[in-house]
Structure 1
Amino acid sequence: MANFHIVAGASEVPAHPVVRKITTADLKEALTKGFDDFWAMPSHLVFLGLIYPILGACLAALTFTNNALPLLFPLASGFALVGPFAGIGLYEISRRRELGLPVSWQDAFDVLKSPSIPSIIGLGVLLLAIFLIWLTTARLLYQSLFGYAAPTSYPEFIQQVLTTSEGMKLIVLGNALGFVFAVAVLSISVISFPLLLDRDVGVAVAVYTSIKAVAMNPVTMAIWGLIVAAALLIGSIPLFVGLAIVMPVLGHATWHLYRRVVEPPHPDDAHPAV
């Protein structure tokens, strides 16, 4: 029954959140409110102090050997695939500000008290699985073009990719595959995590509602995806330091985008304020 709850939610009858049509004006409002949350509550300190040292250590460990050099770009770009889960604490901060509740950075961890936490973790595991599949696909693509021999150094790897026909194929095919993975993750997660934080509807309803939101607003959601991709790219250029600002702003904005896309729940269906 617990596993069924994770998938289907607390209600015996599956919830059907109402999805709205949105425009680029809604995206602008979501980003504006995201910036407002960021400046009011400098959550970047948490990200700068915890997330990025961990990220840097992981990247350093994974690329310590030449064997892992081909995975450097897939690892950096693939972080966006798990970003929706990583931002769950930011959604909680925005939720509390919206309700007029006191807010501190510790409140990001109040998500652990959510009735939907099993569903949130379950969906996070799904995104992690997609991330690992992406890394495996990127590795297989590299091996299909360059063989199993690993580059001996960073300069050799860069020269391989930028000056050979196989490298050009790697760039084109790699970006095409990355686009497919990005669209899939955007579709299933763009509003899934905020919805689960707001209502205990279960993974199935959250994913269905997210896909429905993308299907009803294909152009607007495509623009949102481009905004996220561009912001993450710009934030990643200076050794990921810029992400300490980009990620919190996008996280807060995602909560407000959810509010624009999905009609508010009946008071009996919403999670209690904590």
Structure 2
Amino acid sequence: METIRNPGEWTAEAVSSAGRHLGAIGTALRGSEAEIAAAPPRARPITPADLFDALSKGFDDFRETRSDVIFLCVVYPLAGIAAVGLASNAALLPLLFPAVAGFALVGPVTAVGAYELSRRRERGESTGWTSAFRPIASPSFGAIFLLALGILATFLVWMGAAQTIKALTIGAEAPASLGDFAAQVFGTGAGWAMILVGCGVGFVFAAAVLATSLVSFPLLLDRQVGLVRAVMTSVEVARTSPRTVALWGLIVAAALIVASIPLFLGLIVALPVLGHATWHVYRKAVA
């Protein structure tokens, strides 16, 4: 038989529950007690040769783990449906390119499964396709989830910025057709202004995400360092080897652009290979 609890009991339970949730958030941000007491991760200089070695090892991981199954089932259909929806809606057509370009921003989130497969293969553990979902049970999942939310929020802000740039240059009105929109973009000074400003603003967004997420996700999978320390370590890697990190950003952007051309089919290979390679970049960049 259920009884009605008095306000004191209800309040005590609510306060206790809130305390547990706040404690979990605090651990996600700061890391475990053992990691707080331990020496922080140390960034090491990396070179272009390290990047190409990481790509080679990433491709080897891809061949062994066949993690393309995950991306074939999840990422490619979503990206394809979104692109078709944008292209078929005149009002959303101007957002097609920003959405495709912005995919590089959320790439680190979609590649978490590949990081985990590379980590497990390195440790000699099983690497079945279900292993890619093991990060959900990771002690650092709270930090991983918060970082993913931050990157997704950045993507949404980028889309809003792209829409604002379009409205301030060629106008807020929706194009009548694809041909009309192409004429506005490539046939007018306002259109070229939109391209230049959009690329400049997009570069700032991409650089910020690259610096904060390059090794953050792999580090959180490897150690319970907490979100703050993981992001700080990633920024330190970018500060220690700025040219090499910039080159990695160009490699990722170029690979995603080329992979997106054939109806996004190339992403089936490009995404997991880049994800696996990023794990090996982390191993080289963080002591």
SS at match of 1:66: coil
Distance (Å, rounded) in 1 between the aligned partners of 2:28 and 2:65: 31
The TM-score normalised by the length of structure 2 is 0.89
Partner of 1:134: 158
Indicate if the aligned counterparts of 1:141 and 1:170 stay in contact, CA closer than 8 A. Answer: yes
Indicate if the aligned counterparts of 1:161 and 1:167 stay in contact, CA closer than 8 A. Answer: yes
**Gaps (5+ residues) in structure 2?**
1-22
Structure 1 position 63, deviation (Å): 4.7
The aligned runs of 1:223-262 (5 Å cut-off) are: 223-262=247-286
Q: CA RMSD in A?
A: 1.2
Q: Does 1:222 align with 2:246?
A: yes
SS at match of 2:172: coil
Structure 1 position 13, deviation (Å): 3.7
Indicate if the aligned counterparts of 1:15 and 1:205 stay in contact, CA closer than 8 A. Answer: no
Partner of 1:110: 134
Structure 1 position 179, deviation (Å): 0.6
Whichever of the two has the greater Rg, that structure is: 2
Structure 1 position 160, deviation (Å): 1.2
Structure 1 position 59, deviation (Å): 3.1
Distance (Å, rounded) in 2 between the aligned partners of 1:158 and 1:48: 31
Aligned with residue 144 of structure 2, among 96, 110, 120: 120
SS at match of 1:67: coil
Q: Does 1:210 align with 2:234?
A: yes
Distance (Å, rounded) in 2 between the aligned partners of 1:54 and 1:148: 27
Aligned with residue 36 of structure 1, among 24, 41, 60: 60
Partner of 2:5: none
Percent identity between the aligned chains? 48
Q: What letter corresponds to residue 171 of structure 1 in structure 2?
A: I
Q: What letter corresponds to residue 5 of structure 1 in structure 2?
A: T
Structure 1 position 64, deviation (Å): 4.0
Indicate if the aligned counterparts of 1:15 and 1:201 stay in contact, CA closer than 8 A. Answer: no
The TM-score normalised by the length of structure 1 is 0.93
Indicate if the aligned counterparts of 2:170 and 2:194 stay in contact, CA closer than 8 A. Answer: no
Structure 1 position 15, deviation (Å): 5.2
Distance (Å, rounded) in 1 between the aligned partners of 2:135 and 2:87: 33
Partner of 1:269: none
Partner of 1:171: 195
Distance (Å, rounded) in 2 between the aligned partners of 1:232 and 1:148: 29
Distance (Å, rounded) in 2 between the aligned partners of 1:83 and 1:58: 16
Partner of 1:270: none
Partner of 1:57: 81
Render the CA deviation track for 1:27-52: whole Å, top value 9, x for unaligned.
Answer: 11100100100111221122112211
Distance (Å, rounded) in 1 between the aligned partners of 2:39 and 2:93: 46
Q: What letter corresponds to residue 207 of structure 1 in structure 2?
A: V
Q: What letter corresponds to residue 50 of structure 1 in structure 2?
A: V
Indicate if the aligned counterparts of 1:116 and 1:196 stay in contact, CA closer than 8 A. Answer: yes
Partner of 1:4: 26
Render the CA deviation track for 1:61-80: whole Å, top value 9, x for unaligned.
Answer: 34542111110000001011
Partner of 2:12: none
Partner of 1:67: 91
Indicate if the aligned counterparts of 1:6 and 1:203 stay in contact, CA closer than 8 A. Answer: yes
Aligned with residue 47 of structure 1, among 65, 71, 94: 71
The aligned runs of 1:67-106 (5 Å cut-off) are: 67-106=91-130
Aligned with residue 216 of structure 2, among 192, 196, 209: 192
Indicate if the aligned counterparts of 2:79 and 2:264 stay in contact, CA closer than 8 A. Answer: no
Q: What letter corresponds to residue 242 of structure 2 in structure 1?
A: P
